[in-house]
Amino acid sequence: MMFIDKTLLILTNTPGSQDLFEQTKSRFDDQALQVRGIPKSLLPVSNRPVLSWWYDVARTAFAHTYIAANAHNYKKYEQWASDHSFPIDHIVNSGLRYNRLHHLSKGHISSTVSYFLSTSALADIACIYRVKNIGQDVVVVFSDFLYEHHPEFLSQLKEPGDCCIVSTQLEIPIAYTLSQSTLHSIEQYLEENQSSFDSPTDELTHFMTSRSGTASLVHIPHKESHEFMLPTVTLDEYLRHWSKYSPPGLERKLSSGVHFSTEPIETKAYARVGLMGNPSDGFYGKTLSLLISNFWAEVVILPNAVCDPAFSSIRIIANAASDPSHHTHLGSLSTTCLIDGYENGHRLLLACCKVFYTYCQNNKIPIDIRQGFRVLFDTNIPRQVGLAGSSAIVTAFWKGLLRFYGVTEQQISLEKQASLILSVEQDELGITAGLQDRVIQVYGGLVYMNFEKSYMDQNGYGQYEYLDMNLLPPLWLAYVAKPKDSGKVHSTIRQRFLKGDTEVIEAMNQFADFTESACQSLRNNDHHTFAQLMTANFELRRKLYGDDVVGSANLRMVEIARQNGCVAKLPGSGGAVVGMWHGQDPQSRDRDMYQLKRDLESDGFVFVNISPLAAQP
């Protein structure tokens, strides 16, 4: 790529851009709504913003590039910058200028503002020159310049001196080159010339021709892409032609020998049941948790094709069933909120990307972000019944990101992965959560977890140990078919714990002892003691939290279990129970389990036999 030893200035107040912008705001058909409020230079052409086609070349041709924005469009270009690794501090916000507003009647205020915003090219150049202390010649282009392979154009930009580069046939300016002395004279010109111009190009051309006639006029061969800069381009023309236009000669050239993903990456994370112990939401206790294959969240990452103009982009595809954004009517929307709450998977995926990228950057883990992807998710984990549904979505996506970017367990240990996945919800989204769910979903199998405080403070994670799943008795799960929000289950217990409440601290210590005893009973193949510990675990929780917090549905499921020769406890925050048969006569087991299922279903609960899931190699 040709290197041009000048600074590039990109002006966003483009000729005629306000007219097209207003058209996107005045129409409400589906096509127009897709581009509503998008500046002309950020409209997608072949799935990429217009400005991106030029910046692909400019980022290697120029050592420094600055964008002149204003207070109205700054946020739009800031977002573009973040998508293209463009330095945010290289976008200069020149504010707003209404210097002639007082001469106009009230009925013309809206159009007047637009007019004066679009005729400030010299003021924007002077602003960047002053604020960024530019010490070399500059190249000036407007942000709606749709670039295609153009060696004559690039060669001309290297030439010294002042010039206006014009496309033949159309006779419209494509770019300007300005010397240091010319840049230095802009402020004085602005002070001496208060006349208005029909467009920013007229303003620039007048200024350069007023400079003792030294500016040259250079014609370059016309390209179809130049026509996009015409101020007469309408929204209909954009939608019909330019949105699908593919600038020729811009085939993506990738480094030889570099491998990019081509096949879909499918990852799953499964529901979990807490078999023993206290919730791990900051109580520094001990838990025994099991991953089950009955329910899961699935994430599919679809790598972008190398020929895709939006090769590096990332797009989250909404799931109409699991994460609906479309509702048939207002009543449908209200019912969905009542059933599923207001949490959505979209923000979980966004936060996961942010945590993953930031950790890799901070820890110098090399990831190649040139290739992007589309991502979609689905889940069949019952919501709001304490089976770790939201953390399963994050964990599944996390596993997919590891595979897509080739990050190994040696680079991010399993212990650290669980803590990072927790931070997605806890730190990024402010959701109260604990490590237990993330640990078991990362590890799989049956895991004993010790969250002892001093170890946690020192390492940022707990001590985790696999147990043989074959030691477990057959387990079952029941949950509320139509749950309500289970977020209130913990009530004030955490606050009391943090204040040093003796009753709460002693109860948490007892939960930890139950976990130690449960692990030992399994190692001894003593299912009788394990069942007693499940009952003791539930009763302690009931005593500590109270029946109002535990909830009538959970109490009813436990009652039905006990009526049919079983024991049960809460596997999570509430809305479900996990249990096992604990009758006296083995011959009655099948009869008891049949009756248990029938009774639970008659009361509006769902019953499933648990299928444990082993740790994945």
Catalogue the active-site residues: 437
Cα dihedral: 275, 276, 277, 278 (round 10): 40
Handedness of CA 117, 120, 125, 127 (dihedral sign): negative
User: In sequence order, what DSSP letters do the residues of 90-108 get, joined into one string?
Assistant: GEEE-----TTGGGS-GGG
Residues 6+ apart with CB under 8 A from 156: 163, 165, 177, 218, 220
In DSSP terms, 447 is beta-bridged to 289, 466
Rounded distance between C-alpha atoms, residue 286 and residue 493, angstroms: 17
Rounded distance between C-alpha atoms, residue 179 and residue 187, angstroms: 14
Query: Interior CA angle at 470 toward 466 and 474, to 5°?
Result: 120
Cα dihedral: 403, 404, 409, 414 (round 10): -80
Rounded distance between C-alpha atoms, residue 479 and residue 574, angstroms: 9
Handedness of CA 99, 105, 106, 109 (dihedral sign): negative
Rounded distance between C-alpha atoms, residue 155 and residue 178, angstroms: 15
Radius of gyration of the chain (CA): 32
Rounded distance between C-alpha atoms, residue 76 and residue 42, angstroms: 8
